[in-house]
């Protein structure tokens, strides 16, 4: 059955162009009422203009959908609260958040100013936190919410010259892990999307053929699926060029060496066994790691305190 978002209200940040624009257009095409947010700044986060957000909102309205624009900076919580209030006052609720806003300030760690490190974290991580926090209680009260956080393969696997960006993107995975658990009782589904797309962030890096193959439009179906009524939760979905994969943070069976004087030496001699992926796990919650370690030590988890 086609995914139908009729009656749902979505906020898409960083939607004045690139991936965010495609996400907003597709959600609107499937019936969602969309608040198009974009600060309208440069790639590194400087400047501001409401033009791009309004242009996308007008595209949606011209196509017969419902949309409003918003130029809030996701780094300013009071502006984000006003943005959520704008959507709620206009349409009655906020059901979907697609946290897509981001900036780049690439340099090797040795050459990177701490200001540039903080700025990237502020937009990607705290920008997402602000949006979710402003809408979270309303989602809990209504018993419905769909949240998509934009992570990256850089966060999952690293990328030279992007320590700030990678840190922010992996932090969003940690945010997802806990919010998915806390939101489960309220029918709030929280997932991460790691896109591969030809946006202004990769201009000059990819060939024209690669740019064509990685059209941002090919990523947006993953967003649509992740905000649907039947969406999963706590998934890391990679998407690019029409291909989709799921990434996992796994735990190997590992080794047990005890707590003797030579524990470090025993560990150092067993790196290969430690890394053996046979029988690896995907823990449901963080404490399950401690449970596994206690089990290896011959101690029951509920006896740990004693």
The whole-angstrom separation of Cα 274 and Cα 252 is 7
- Provide the β-strand partners of residue 246: 237
Q: Give the residue carrying structure tokens 């918003």.
A: 70
The whole-angstrom separation of Cα 234 and Cα 48 is 33
Residue 160, classed as helix, strand or coil, is coil
* Annotated catalytic residue, options 157, 165, 186, 256: 165
Instruction: Identify the CA nearest to 247 among candidates 194, 285, 287, 289.
Output: 194
The whole-angstrom separation of Cα 213 and Cα 17 is 18
Quick count: other Cβ atoms within 10 Å of Cβ 163? 19
What is the pairing mode between strands 243-247 and 236-240?
antiparallel
- Provide the β-strand partners of residue 192: 149, 236
The whole-angstrom separation of Cα 291 and Cα 260 is 21
Q: Would you call 186 a catalytic residue per the annotation? A: no
Quick count: other Cβ atoms within 10 Å of Cβ 217? 15
Cα 77 to Cα 14, 51, 159: the distances in Å are 16, 22, 30
Residue 171 CB partners (closer than 8 Å, separation 6+)? 121, 124, 125, 155
Supply the residues annotated as catalytic: 165
């Amino acid at each position: 059955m086609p995914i139908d978002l009729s009656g749902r209200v979505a906020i898409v940040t960083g939607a004045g162009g690139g991936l965010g624009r495609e996400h907003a257009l597709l959600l609107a095409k499937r019936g969602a009422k969309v608040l198009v947010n974009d600060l309208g700044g440069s790639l590194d986060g400087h400047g501001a203009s409401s033009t791009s957000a309004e242009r996308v909102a007008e595209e949606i309205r011209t196509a017969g959908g419902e949309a409003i624009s918003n130029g809030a900076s996701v780094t300013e919580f009071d502006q984000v609260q006003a943005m959520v209030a704008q959507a709620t006052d206009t349409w009655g609720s906020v059901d979907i958040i697609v946290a897509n806003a981001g900036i780049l300030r690439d340099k090797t760690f040795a050459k990177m100013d701490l200001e540039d490190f903080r700025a990237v974290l502020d937009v990607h991580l705290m920008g997402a936190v602000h949006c979710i926090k402003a809408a979270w209680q309303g989602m809990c009260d209504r018993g419905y919410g769909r949240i998509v956080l934009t992570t990256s393969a850089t966060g999952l696997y690293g990328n030279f010259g992007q320590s700030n960006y990678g840190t922010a993107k992996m932090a969003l995975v940690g945010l997802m892990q806990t919010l998915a658990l806390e939101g489960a009782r309220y029918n709030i589904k929280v997932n991460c999307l790691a896109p591969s797309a030809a946006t202004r962030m990769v201009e000059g890096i990819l060939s024209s053929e690669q740019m064509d193959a990685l059209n941002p439009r090919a990523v947006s179906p993953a967003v649509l699926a992740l905000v649907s009524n039947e969406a999963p939760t706590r998934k890391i979905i990679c998407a690019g060029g029409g291909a989709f994969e799921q990434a996992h943070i796994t735990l190997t069976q590992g080794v047990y060496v005890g707590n003797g004087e030579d524990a470090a030496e025993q560990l150092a001699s067993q790196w290969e066994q430690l890394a053996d992926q046979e029988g690896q796990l995907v823990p449901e919650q963080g404490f399950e790691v401690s449970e596994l370690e206690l089990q290896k030590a011959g101690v029951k988890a509920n006896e740990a305190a004693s």
